Structure 1
Amino acid sequence: MYQLSADDDFHYELLRILGIAPYEGSDIGEVLVAANKIEPLSMLSWSKSFDELATHMGKVAEGIDSSKYPISARNAHFKAATYYRAADFFLHGNWSDPNINTLWDKQTASFNAALKLMTIPGKRVTLRSKGGQFKVPAIYYSSGSSKPRPTIIMCNGYDGAQEEMYHVFGQAALQRNINIITYEGPGQPTVRREQNENFYASHAQSN
């Protein structure tokens, strides 16, 4: 297999980012250019490269007249969100790093801008966990059918973001008239940042 980076962890994450290109999650050429700037074993280099790409794509998105070209604007906002998530990914060894929240706020703003430009806008909702220990951030995507439709509930793995799930399975399901709900739990991005709920705390509460 051709290595996208001499660093195995970076190679894996680059494949993950490339994998969501078919459903507006990224652009292969843009990701490969960013990958070429990353120094193996340098997490700061990774973050810097994707932050620069995300910032550029965010400016592209803002420069598009979304009233005339909603698809192009949506696509650019979605990609900016992905690249901000990528810039954040390897920073979690030091939770005092302010970039963890700054980059996440930017990815959320970009993703929300894209949600508004969907044919049927995705809606963020907040649910309550059983027992009420924490809030459950979720996004509802409607297929638009007036008839009862199947609904898939999706959660990402480990500390993955719910936003990523739209590009992995969500858009494909909507194209097949299936409704989608994504959500995050303890230890995952929004719950960890906004409620300081981690995996361990959730396990301790359940016991």
Structure 2
Amino acid sequence: MELFEDPLFQTFAERAAMTATRGGAEWGECRLTAQRVSEGDRDSWHEEWTRTAATVEGWADTSARAGHPVSAREAYLRACTYHRIAYYPLFGEPVDPRLVASSGRSTACFESFGALCRPALQPQEIPYEDTTLPGCFCPADDTGTRRPLLIAVNGYDSALPETYWSHAVPALRRGYHCLLVDGPGQGRALIEQGLRLRPDWENVLTPVVDHALTLPGVDPERIAVMGWSLGGYLAPRGVAGEPRVAALVADPGQWDQLDALRDALPLPTELRDRLAEG
């Protein structure tokens, strides 16, 4: 499934394509978009993925106006993915305004998708310190019956809509409610609010659990937390300080990141040697 020689662009393209397994993308749309991108050119990348996203979003709007909610819902979810993928090479400071715009379009498409789900997804603003964190409650049903809840903990460069694919879909299929959150350093919390990543996730997870207990149909005795990617570190750290959580999944469990970071980062030789010495 090689689409690019550039390893970073290839990784970004795979992030889009993998969501096809649960409706977040179409392989043909990803392949045709990749063919238009100039290798290694981040401006070309953003332009072409945004072009695809706008096309698919237009299909969604047309379907919605024509009274075809299923077609609209499916297209909004794919457009959400493509808008998100469009901004990946733009991360950095000063913040590129195209990144903010693409994040906003991705969020808007996800909310349009969620409004057409049955039951509808419910956007949340989760109280956190002196601000709020973006969230989304994905109910397994709308009967008010108490059910277990899965709280999704995101990764380093992910955003809330991607965890719908990775966490919410499998949770809903198994009768769990699911709460998605952009924590500090993730998704909209980083891009729109400027909240930086922090290691002490116990100070993030506790207000999320507080909020979760106010949601309809959540069984307070059956709250699980699942972290993926960097969330495999953040989730265990958070749960260690949160006794109300009954179960934890770390995907993957990250016991020690030092060796991986030392090998992956372009560190000066002197610093690399010092890290190797411990």
TM over 0.5: yes
Q: Tell me the TM-score normalised to structure 1 length.
A: 0.89
Larger Rg: 2
Q: Which residue, out of 173, 176, 196, partners 2:174? A: 176
Conservation of the 8 A alpha-carbon contact between 1:23 and 1:172: no
Aligned 1:15-164 pairs, distance under 5 A: 15-65=14-64, 68-129=67-128, 132-144=129-141, 146-164=144-162
AA paired with 1:198?
Answer: R
Q: Paired residue for 2:5?
A: 6
Q: How far apart are residue 169 of structure 1 and its match? A: 2.6
> Matches of 2:74 and 2:169 in 1, distance apart?
12
- 1:199 correspondence with 2:197: yes
SS in 1 for 2:147: coil
Q: How far apart are residue 21 of structure 1 and its match? A: 0.6
Alignment length (residue pairs): 202
Q: How far apart are residue 179 of structure 1 and its match? A: 0.7
Conservation of the 8 A alpha-carbon contact between 1:58 and 1:76: yes
SS in 2 for 1:177: coil
Q: Paired residue for 2:213?
A: none
Unaligned runs of 5+ in 1: none
Conservation of the 8 A alpha-carbon contact between 2:119 and 2:140: yes
Q: What percentage of residue pairs aligned between the two structures are identical?
A: 25
RMSD: 2.2
Q: How far apart are residue 80 of structure 1 and its match? A: 0.7
Conservation of the 8 A alpha-carbon contact between 1:37 and 1:49: yes
Structure in which a larger fraction of residues adopt strand: 2
Which piece of structure 1 moves more, 194-203 or 143-152? 194-203
Superposed structure 1 runs of 4+ greater than 3 Å apart: 65-68, 200-203
Q: Tell me the TM-score normalised to structure 2 length.
A: 0.67
